[in-house]
Amino acid sequence: MAKKLFVGSLDWNTTEDELKAFFGDMGDVSEAIIIRDHQGRSKGFGFVSYDDDSAAEKAIAELDGKQLGKRNIVVNEARPKEA
């Protein structure tokens, strides 16, 4: 089962390709998405999924607080949205 990570504090100009490439150093990324508003602008957060749990854990350990674009990102395990 894929492990999904929350990625916060994204630079507004970060693309999904850049996000996937940045996280790709930790392992094979199965999905990288940036959440956008109704006008297509980044909301400053997104999600990255790995098929391999160890790659996801490595990404959390090594990339949390690292700089991507002009901002230091927050990386942690995604949690279900609360109702």
pTM comes to 0.94
List the chain domain ranges.
Answer: 3-77
Asked if residues 6 and 45 have their Cβ atoms less than 8 Å apart, the reply is: yes
Q: What is the pLDDT along the chain (83 residues), one digit of tens a residue?
A: 689 999 999 999 999 999 999 999 999 999 999 999 999 999 999 999 999 999 999 999 999 999 999 999 999 999 988 86
- C-beta neighbour count of 74 within 10 angstroms: 14
Can you give the length of the chain in residues? 83
Sign of CA dihedral 22, 23, 28, 32: negative
Please name the CATH architecture into which domain 3-77 falls.
2-Layer Sandwich (3.30)
* Of 25, 22, 28, 2, the residue nearest 10 (C-alpha): 22
Compute the distance between CA of residue 67 and CA of residue 69 in angstroms, rounded to an integer.
Answer: 6
